[in-house]
Each structure stands twice: as structure tokens, then as C-alpha cells.
Structure 1
Amino acid sequence: MTSNNWINLAQDDETGIETLQAHFEGHAYDPHWHDSYLVGVTEQGVQQFNCRRSRHHSTPGNVFLLEPGEIHDGDAPEDGGFTYRMLYLDPQWLERELGAVFEKAPANTCLTFASTLSTDPRLAQATAHAFAVMHRPELRIVRQNALNNLMQALTSNLQWRKQYSQDPRLPRVARLARDYLHDHMHHNIGIDDLANLTGVDRFRLNRAFKSSYGLAPHAYLVQLRLAKARRLLALGESCADVASALGFADQSHLGRWFVRAYGLTPAAYRKHCTNVPDR
């Protein structure tokens, strides 16, 4: 990160919504994902990112929309960098709130964004206003009204997608390896372990896994651990305890990966997302 980069993060106690305003120049963050729905608006500059196998350029007034688990990165391709505001919406909270808009969700479906970028000025205005009232102390009724307006603006960008427990389009070896990583994310897993499990050599496994999920198995495992680290840190767990629990070598090891993915240290994230004092 350059010395001109900065991040301002907060979390709302009632909804759990995180709000983030940030500025980056040059490389912002490596490919990663979140457990939340991300709704953000670019304020200044050009925000370049790769997602859904395409490269996108978000300019001032554009709204970018990312689903839980969608891999994306971030770069500033022009001098002066880019600035954006972002809301991280918990999936259960979002589906509950949208229950007032969609009376009944179709069976076995999940909410998805129709597109990654939107030029809808109404959505951009609703996103910016929701960020403004959620990021600073404001009357509860004002916050709720802003979120209601955001939900209404989002409806034209949302759709229901059939939910698969196992996506039949993906190779069996990739699905087996992915499930094993989820079940054993705390362990010191080797690529040979995954190769033995799936019955193919490690080179074929790497190709199948990356083709299916966009990351090699080792990078996918790191992202699993980082997503879990965010949840534990937000609950007030110490950085050292989180690093130990998730199989990182030490606190510094966790910190290096955390900064590469999110642009801030675990300690900084914990400080802004919990009221537990540092020990």
C-alpha cells in the first residue's frame, strides 16, 4: 500500500452492517471474497476489478454489486487512485429485510445480483445516503428509512437463482477438494492430501480447481481462513488467538494475508468492528 492509501471503517451494532470508505492508489488488494453482499459506489477516479471472469471499470456514480463468495480484486489504473464507499450487508439480514418487498421467495433459491456494475442514478443516490447515515451516529428512524430506500432501489438489480448444494457443472474432483477444504480449514492441509482424496495428480487437481473456483486450492484455503478471521475479529477475539485457531503460523502471518486481501490490519479491523478493548 502507498502512503496515500487510507481506510475508514465502522460497524452498526443493530444490523451488523459494516460501512467502509477507502482510497487506494496503484494496487489495492489481491483476489478475495466476502461472506456478505457488497453494495458500493465509486466517488472519485477509476476503480478497476476482476469479477465473474471479466474486468470492470467503475467510475464516479457507478454502483458495484458483489455476492457472497464472489472473487474480486482491486486496482487503480490511473494516477490519483480511486475513492469509494461500501456497505457490507449480512445475507440473512438482507433476505429478512427484502421479505417486505418479495412476499414469498421461490423454493430452493438465493438472492443474486443481475449485474456487477450499475449506472442507475437512483441506486447510486440511495447507496451514498445509506452509507452516510449508517457510518455516523444518527437517529434510528433515519437509519431505517435510508435502508428501506436502499432496499427499494436494489430490487431492480436483484433476482432469484436456483440454489444447488452441489453445482453439477463443476468437475467432481474440484467439488471433492473444495468440500474437504471447508471441512478441514483449520488443519495443515497439503496438496498431496487433496490429490490422494480425489484420485488425480496434483497438477490436474490444480487445473480443475482453478477452472471451477477461480483460485488454486492453497489460495482458496487462505480465503476460507480470512473470511473466518473477519467473523472472529468482529466478535472481539484477539489477533493472536484468531491466528492460532485458524492455522496461521503466527499473528504476523495472519496480518500479511489480511492486509493483502482487505487493505487493513487485523488489529485495525477488530478495533472498528467491536467494542472489546485491546488487551
Structure 2
Amino acid sequence: MSPDNWIELAQDADTGIETLRAHFRGHAYDPHWHDSYLVGVTEQGVQQFNCRRAKHQSTPGKVFLLEPGDIHDGDAPTEDGFTYRMLYLDPLWLQRELSEVFENAPDNSQLCFAHTLASDPRLAHATSLAFQTLHHGELKIVRQTALDGLLERLTSHLHWRTRYGEDPRLPLVAQKARDYLHANARFDIGLDQVAAAAGVDRFRLTRAFKAAYGLAPHAYLVQLRLSKARRMLSSGAQPATVAMELGFADQSHLGRWFVRAYGLTPAMYRKRCSNLPDV
């Protein structure tokens, strides 16, 4: 972490919600995704990122809304950089908390955000308030009240998307390759093996996969491992153990990729999210 960049990370013990406040100048992080819903507010500067095949620029007061699996990056196009605060909402927690609001939800569906970037002052205020109470460990009743206010504002930006066993919007080749990567994420697999599983040659595989998911298969595999690494680290696993179980060459290899994607080391992430001492 350079002197121009900093990250503050915490995790709420009751809900599991992670809260992050950070500042970056220049390049912030490489393309990656999260297993959580991301709700964040830009405090200062211009926060530029690519997501869903579009480039977005979030300025102070704007709220960015990302779904689990949304691939995104980040950089500062202006000299003074940008500062933002973020909430990482667990999908099961969000679904449970909104169940009364959406009690008549359609079958075979999932929650999604209508837009990636929103200009909604009330949502921005609710997000900042929820962040403040969680990040600084306010009384439980204060945290719950702030989260209820956030959920109330979020409902105007949520709608239902049908969940398909086989998403017709994505080429079957890419879907087969993705399924193979998920099933074999911890192994040292080659592109030939992925192509064989998808029933095409390597070149057609790469073209189809990038068209569907915005990343080449090898980059997707790395991000898949990093996503699993976050879960293991927040549960208290040691970085060396995580690296070994997820197929990274060693702890340093995991560390290099983790910093590029999230801006902090695996050890720092584990310490701030698990509250467990190093051994």
C-alpha cells in the first residue's frame, strides 16, 4: 500500500457485513468480483470503473450498486484520486431481511439492481449512515435502525431477475467452461482441459468466454480462487493454508494476486475480518 492509498476494513459480528473505506490515486484494483452485493458511496474525487460492459464515473454523492459476480475494476482518472465507503451485503442476509417486502416474489428468481450507478441523495445518506454505525460499532439497536433505513431505500433500486438453470443469454460453450472451472478451481488445470470440457478448441473457447464474462478463462479462474480465499480468510484460515488449498504456487503468489484485486494483503484482510490473532 503506497502513501497515496489507504484502506480501512471492518466486519460487523452480528450480520457479517463488511465495511470498507478507502482512498486511491491512479490504478486502484484489477478486474475482480465479490460474492456479496456491493453498495457504496463516493465521498471525494472521481471513481472510475468498468462493469457490465460499460465505463462508469462515480462522483461525490453517487451510489454504486453491484451484484454478486459483477466483474469490475477501479482507477482514479484525476490527480487527486478518490475516496469511497462500501458495504458488502451477504446475499442470504439481504434475501432474509427483504423477505417481508418481497413476500410475493416470483418463482425461480433472484434480486438484482436496476442500475449500476444511482443519483439518489436519500440512498446515499442511508448508505453512509449504515456504514458509520457498522464501521464504528454503534449500539446494536442503532445499527439495526440504520440498516432498516438502508433496506427501505434499496427497495426502489431492486427488482427480480429470473434465474435460469442454463442462462440463454450466454453461449453454452462459455457456460460449460465456467462450470468446469468452478468444479476444478483448486487444481492446476490447463486450457486444453477446459476446452475439451466445453467441446471446442482453445481459441473458440477463449473468444466465447470473454464475450460472455468479460475475462479470459485463466483470469476468471484466478478471480474464482480469490473469491474463495476471502471466505476462508474471514473464517480465520491462515494465508499459507489458503494458498495451498486453492492451488496457488505459494503464499507469496496468493498475496500478489490478492493485493492487485483488493488492495490489501491476505494477512491484513484476515486480521480485520476474523478478529483472530496470528499464530
Q: How does 1:164-243 map to 2 (within 5 A)?
A: 164-243=164-243
Amino acid at match of 2:87: L
Amino acid at match of 1:101: V
Tell me the CA shift for residue 88 of structure 1: 0.1
Cα deviation digits, residues 103-139 of structure 1 (max 9, x gap): 2321111000000011110000000000000001211
Q: Does 1:275 align with 2:275?
A: yes
Amino acid at match of 1:263: G
Q: How does 1:1-279 map to 2 (within 5 A)?
A: 2-279=2-279
CA distance in 2, matches of 1:73, 1:164: 27
Cα deviation digits, residues 27-80 of structure 1 (max 9, x gap): 000000000000000000000000010000000000000000000000000011
Amino acid at match of 2:92: Q
Tell me the CA shift for residue 195 of structure 1: 1.8
Cα deviation digits, residues 227-256 of structure 1 (max 9, x gap): 000000000000000000000000000000
CA distance in 2, matches of 1:206, 1:83: 35
CA distance in 1, matches of 2:199, 2:162: 30
Amino acid at match of 1:230: R
CA distance in 1, matches of 2:170, 2:39: 28
Amino acid at match of 1:9: L
> TM-score, normalized by length of structure 1?
0.98
- For structure 1, the 5+ residue unaligned runs are none
CA distance in 1, matches of 2:262, 2:165: 28
CA distance in 1, matches of 2:196, 2:94: 40
Taking only aligned residues, the RMSD between alpha carbons, in angstroms, comes to 0.8
Identity of aligned residues (%): 71
CA distance in 2, matches of 1:171, 1:114: 23
CA distance in 1, matches of 2:172, 2:250: 34
CA distance in 1, matches of 2:245, 2:149: 40
> TM-score, normalized by length of structure 2?
0.98
Tell me the CA shift for residue 3 of structure 1: 2.2
CA contact (8 A) 1:123 1:154 kept: yes
CA contact (8 A) 1:2 1:25 kept: no
CA distance in 1, matches of 2:199, 2:54: 32
Tell me the CA shift for residue 275 of structure 1: 2.1
- For structure 2, the 5+ residue unaligned runs are none
